[in-house]
Amino acid sequence: MPEVKEQILTTSLDLFLSLGFKSVTMDEIASRMGMSKKTLYTYYKNKGQLVEESSLHKCHQVCECIDQIVDADTENPIEELYSIKKYVMKELKGDDSSPMYQLQKYYPDVFRKLTDIQFAHIDECIRKNVNKGIEQGLYRDNINVGFIARIYFVGMQGIKNLNIFPSEEFPAQELFEQYLEYHLRGIVTPQGRKILNKITNSNHD
Q: What is the pLDDT along the chain (205 residues), one digit of tens a residue?
A: 578 999 999 999 999 988 889 989 999 999 999 999 999 999 999 999 999 999 999 899 999 999 999 888 777 999 999 999 999 888 776 555 578 788 888 999 999 999 999 999 999 999 999 999 999 999 999 999 999 999 999 999 999 888 899 888 998 889 999 999 999 999 999 999 999 999 999 876 5
CATH class of 55-204: mainly alpha
CA 29 vs CA 12, 15, 54, 195: distances in Å: 6, 8, 12, 45
Domain boundaries, the chain: 55-204
pTM of the model: 0.86
Report the alpha-carbon distance of residue 166 to residue 189 in Å, rounded: 33
Report the alpha-carbon distance of residue 61 to residue 122 in Å, rounded: 14
Of 141, 149, 142, give the one whose Cα is nearest residue 81: 149
